[in-house]
Structure 1
Amino acid sequence: MRMVNTVIGEAPVSIGDGNYSSKYPKRTDFLEAGVPFISANNLDNGVVISEGMRFISEQQHSTLKKGHLEKNDVLVVTRGNGIGNVARVDEKWQGANINAQLVLLRADDIKISKKYLFLYTRSKYFFDLVKLFSSGTAQPQLPIGALKKIPVSYPENIDDQLKIVRIVSAYDDLIENNKRRIELLEDSARQLYKEWFMRFRFPGHEHVKIIDGVPEGWESCPASDALHINPRVSVEKGKEIVCVPMASLSESQMTVDKSAFEQRTNHTSVKFMRGDTLFARITPCLENGKTAFVYFLEEGEIACGSTEFVVLRGKKVSNQFTYLLAREESFRGNAIKSMIGSSGRQRVQPSCFDKYIVPIAPDYIQEQFDSMVSSAFEQIAVLAKQNEQLARARDLLLPKLMGGEIAV
């Protein structure tokens, strides 16, 4: 298999950006509907998402001569904290515009396959190169000139490129299948929580009266009494432990992205253990739903994390109950209402947990609930670990395939 070893700037790939100088849309130009104006925030796990999408008018779109998207273009974040994130443009976003944080890569699909280019840019190898070629710390950026110097290797024969795509896609398909299973398992646990503890349709509810807003035999208490809020955890000074950044938390699931974890000896003040829940306390992370269940530590292991986490641990309820409670819109809404601070840096006030009332069921009901949801939590942890192993195997295999070390 003959390989072409070059750099992006000399490969059969065109590069476009969203720098429109004086024609760049102002804040007042954005509309509720129109032509999508895609930003780094709209890139998620290799796809463009609608959440938070901004729009411009058709008239303004026609004045922007650059950054018009075609199907299967690859978008790369080249400015800000999401630098190196990528997404492939599907048919839905054809004709959209991109903002100044993004660059588009368009393979000719003759000498280099569009699918192969996307596969390459999604690799850890490419991500690490972006970090290496970027500049700045507070606001990292990758100028187009630097992007053009990033190495790229591809088989001379496009059929060989597509064989590599098929091999690696098999790993991605398994990972996506596990993600769907995780989503279904978590949704089933959340629905059971709603049914038992919000609608009060627990087993035998037909024979129980509602007194003062809760079933007879239950109690109501503030979240600050039902949970430990930021429980004290001590760890030996200078000991190397895992540190979890905000970027690792998902907006929709309990799982975390371990690729952003660090090993640190200078610990943050926020420490937690297996079974705790991490709850974002700063805007916009809280509004976006960043929350995690700490399934990824061993029993007795201690980690630290972002100082913008609130750590929640069950006191009168289980740890599984605590996580599902933290995922409820009403719980998050109560925290959001308490936020104070300057625009863009608002934080939750600890007193908000005194104001949110939690229904506490008798022990036998809680035990029954826990036994049902614990299975889902355990399966999610197993599937998440499988995905880590699959991703690791894929990331080890991909450079060898792309470098021609392994024949296809």
Structure 2
Amino acid sequence: MSRAELPRGWQWKTIGEVCRVIPGFAFKSKDWADSGIPVIKIKNIKSDCTIDVSNTDCVPPEVVSEKMGKFRLRKGDILIAMTGATAGKVGWLSSDREFLLNQRVAKLDPVDIEKRFFWGVISGRRYQDLFFHLADGAAQPNMSGKQIENVEIPVPPHQAQLHLASIVSTYDDLIENNTRRIEILEEMARRLYEEWFVHFRFPGHEEVSFKESELGEIPEKWEVRQLEEVVALNPRTKVPKEGEKWFVPMGALSESSMVVGSLEKKSGNSGAKFQNGDTLVARITPCLENGKTGFVDFLPEEQPTACGSTEFIVLRSISLCPEMVYLLARSDRFRDVAIKSMSGATGRQRVRVESLVELPVVQPDHATLEAFQRFVVPCFKQVRTLALKNANLRAQRDLLLPKLVSGEIDVSDITMPEDKEVEAA
């Protein structure tokens, strides 16, 4: 977009003219603790412009001085990753908890521009790409606060900023609401799994006889089997070499949700291979420790198999059910065994799949398994529906905002989206 294309009354301004760029604090290695004040790091800024606060490192309150006030974060803060593969990714902090900001992440604090308008501009695909290409150094992309400050954005008169901000807010609020619903549905499924298959408090358990096992007391008709007997690990899956097909990169897996996003189209058939109903688990550090796990439910009938990162472990149900396998992969017991089995050079350690094959797993009776599916399958389907709605909302937003910002579309011509109008297909 050239300067000549700006509508009348609009101006080009640098980010440094309209907001403060505040890089985070360089905490020392001795400062980190298991509990305390959570700190937002690069790893917490996600490719979907969100900030994942479910997996944060902490510093004890006593290491935080009054002089560190500018590094405290509040709900609605805008952050940008400055280093690494996620350099240029931005995130909107939606949590109202107390956080601190770590080095190599900067806060963009608007002072002479409407925050939601500014967010709408920099969170668009064009500026995400621009920020990433600012990063210098092939081995480790990195950009400075000064480079961010020098980036120019188009700024309309204040009233137009308010109109555009209201449109951005409408889209973002719908996306955030759907995201919260996804979190609730997934939490329901995980708690149900724990109640039924960890604590064995399933409906009617009071009437059932129990027996001793290596997992403690389990129902009389249930069995304890090795993982490889109930779940296929990296099963053989045929993916044709010809033509383009869906490919799942490591970045597409979430650390806290079953939803798989940011799919790519690639030719060939290299990497992990999978089909709908499979679970994908990251096997490399730090992705495994951070919880990267996904549920495959997005492949169309015309392409029933696909490929992904070579650093995935593929899990497929043999005698359980797909949903139970995913929830098992999210369980503390599975993750603890996987993490402890990791070997290799520091920073590139991987799970030894053979260390998982003998993991004891409970095999419920058929009736209980069917009852469990009746509860969790609707949860999984609803998560998928909401994820599709969010994908469409983001696509609409990304198509609309550049045209609004350039003046190609008049703000007054825009009808606000409603949740019920966003189709999930």
Aligned-partner Cα distance in 2 for 1:35–1:363 = 46
String of CA shifts for 1:86-140, please: whole Å, max 9, x gaps: 235788668x5541x233433323xx22332233222223212223433444322
Aligned-partner Cα distance in 2 for 1:340–1:69 = 37
Relative to 1, partners in 2 of residues 1:36 and 1:357: Cα closer, same or farther, differing over 3 Å?
A: closer
Aligned-partner Cα distance in 1 for 2:13–2:136 = 19
SS in 2 for 1:211: strand
Aligned-partner Cα distance in 2 for 1:91–1:364 = 43
Aligned-partner Cα distance in 1 for 2:52–2:375 = 36
Is 1:252 the equivalent of 2:256?
A: yes
Contact 1:73 1:114 in 2 (8 A): no
Aligned-partner Cα distance in 2 for 1:2–1:56 = 52
Counterpart in the other structure of 1:133:
134
Aligned-partner Cα distance in 1 for 2:225–2:32 = 45
Which of 396, 399, 408 is matched with 1:405 structurally?
A: 408
Aligned-partner Cα distance in 2 for 1:145–1:395 = 27
Relative to 1, partners in 2 of residues 1:92 and 1:327: Cα closer, same or farther, differing over 3 Å?
A: closer
1:6-405 aligned at under 5 Å gives the runs 6-8=12-14, 11-17=17-23, 25-28=27-30, 30=32, 38-43=40-45, 45-47=49-51, 49=53, 51-55=55-59, 68=71, 74-88=78-92, 96=100, 98-99=102-103, 101-109=104-112, 112-144=113-145, 146-156=147-157, 158-213=158-213, 214-258=218-262, 261-299=263-301, 300-405=303-408
Give the TM-score taking structure 1 as reference length. Answer: 0.86
Aligned-partner Cα distance in 2 for 1:34–1:202 = 36
Aligned-partner Cα distance in 2 for 1:91–1:332 = 29
SS in 2 for 1:212: strand
Contact 1:79 1:142 in 2 (8 A): yes
SS in 2 for 1:152: strand
RMSD (Å), alpha carbons: 3.0
AA in 2 matched with 1:283: T
SS in 1 for 2:353: coil
Aligned-partner Cα distance in 2 for 1:272–1:372 = 25
Relative to 1, partners in 2 of residues 1:194 and 1:53: Cα closer, same or farther, differing over 3 Å?
A: closer
Contact 2:33 2:60 in 1 (8 A): yes
Relative to 1, partners in 2 of residues 1:124 and 1:3: Cα closer, same or farther, differing over 3 Å?
A: farther
Tell me which moved more, 146-155 or 374-383.
146-155
Contact 1:3 1:404 in 2 (8 A): no
AA in 1 matched with 2:267: T
Aligned-partner Cα distance in 2 for 1:59–1:236 = 56
Counterpart in the other structure of 2:3:
none
Contact 2:15 2:153 in 1 (8 A): no
Aligned-partner Cα distance in 1 for 2:368–2:97 = 47
Contact 2:33 2:57 in 1 (8 A): no
SS in 2 for 1:221: strand
SS in 2 for 1:177: helix
Contact 2:260 2:294 in 1 (8 A): yes
- Residue 148 (structure 1) shift: 4.3
Relative to 1, partners in 2 of residues 1:68 and 1:205: Cα closer, same or farther, differing over 3 Å?
A: closer
- Residue 390 (structure 1) shift: 1.0
SS in 1 for 2:356: helix
String of CA shifts for 1:14-65, please: whole Å, max 9, x gaps: 43445x9xxx55423556788876532344544484843454888896788x
Contact 1:155 1:404 in 2 (8 A): no
- Residue 11 (structure 1) shift: 3.6
- Residue 216 (structure 1) shift: 1.5
Unaligned runs of 5+ in 2: 1-6, 412-425
SS in 1 for 2:288: helix
Aligned-partner Cα distance in 1 for 2:372–2:13 = 56
Tell me which moved more, 29-38 or 321-330.
29-38
SS in 1 for 2:270: coil
- Residue 393 (structure 1) shift: 0.7
SS in 1 for 2:347: coil
AA in 2 matched with 1:309: F
Aligned-partner Cα distance in 1 for 2:191–2:72 = 39
Contact 1:107 1:114 in 2 (8 A): yes
Relative to 1, partners in 2 of residues 1:282 and 1:93: Cα closer, same or farther, differing over 3 Å?
A: same
- Residue 234 (structure 1) shift: 1.9
- Residue 272 (structure 1) shift: 0.8
- Residue 329 (structure 1) shift: 0.9
Aligned-partner Cα distance in 1 for 2:267–2:129 = 24
- Residue 161 (structure 1) shift: 0.8
Aligned-partner Cα distance in 1 for 2:155–2:373 = 51
Tell me which moved more, 319-328 or 197-206.
197-206
Aligned-partner Cα distance in 1 for 2:33–2:321 = 45
Relative to 1, partners in 2 of residues 1:3 and 1:215: Cα closer, same or farther, differing over 3 Å?
A: farther
